[in-house]
Amino acid sequence: MDQFDTITLKPEWMRPPCWRWMVSEDYLANPTLYIDDIGEDSILAEAARYKRYEKIHLNSPRKLMRRFPAMQEAFQIYLNSRQEGWKWMLEAYLMTGLSDREIASRFKLPMKEEVIRRYRKVFFDIDSYRHSLPAVTANLLATSRVKADSTGVSDYTWKVFAYVWGAEAFENMFLPVQGRKDQEQLLWLRETNSVRLDAYAFNVTSNMKSTYNEQALATLDTASKYWDIKEEDKSRLKADSAGAFLEQITEQVNMTIKTSPAKKNSVEEDYNMDPSEVFENAG
């Protein structure tokens, strides 16, 4: 069973926010899959085409930017995960009810709403359950709390504050703007940050993290049929997954597959061409 089946069989409120990015990896790993089969989900299909095009033109990043400008920009934001980085800033805004256009305008940058839309759909798809506090807590905030040691306030604290108080309050509390801080919000923030995960909640969240990481790593087994992936790379990723979170493992898996050469004769029996050439013929 590939990631498409594993993830899409779950209801939307039980999928990781970056589920489209995970599923699109199947189409990078397996060059015989037809992207047209997922054409009803245009953003998922675009993510799959983006990954295939990137592999074919790995040494020509300008071609990628010209072909997929919005997806490339969204991906660069996703990679910017340092504390108080772009990833956390955008995801805090996506916790609110702001539209793509409203979020883009708040940045006061030449950032198009098409970029926000792709980030929302590919990397942070929570809209179907954003109004459900239990779903947001179970599927998103619980994992963010476990990561707090490495992300500081940028992940969990920013998300939960923006979710509860809204965009303007988030900006006033965490961005260097003039004005007094709301005392009620300050008190709420101190109380929220003082709460620690109990052992049971930590174990549940850790188990969820392990499940998602295992799904991401399973893609390497499929990829090994078509791409010359070194066993030491697979072993290293498996070892890293014990302490890494989904976005880290997903990016490492993606980097391993897209930089691995084609395995000789892997699809020649059916296509008489190497896997990279098959990409051009499978959607």
pLDDT digits (tens, 9 = 90+) for 192-221: 766 655 444 455 555 666 677 777 778 888
pTM: 0.85
Domain boundaries, the chain: 3-258
Q: What is the pLDDT of residues 220-272, one digit of tens each?
A: 888 999 999 988 888 888 887 766 666 778 888 899 999 999 887 776 444 44
What is the distance of C-alpha 241 from the center of its chain? 16
- Give 213's contacts (C-beta < 8 A, 6+ positions apart): 241, 244, 245, 246, 249
In the DSSP assignment, the letter for residue 119 is I
Please count the helices (runs of H) and the strands (runs of E) in the chain.
Answer: 19, 0
Q: What is the mean pLDDT of the chain?
A: 83
Per-residue pLDDT of 123-148, as tens digits, reads 999 999 999 998 898 888 877 776 66
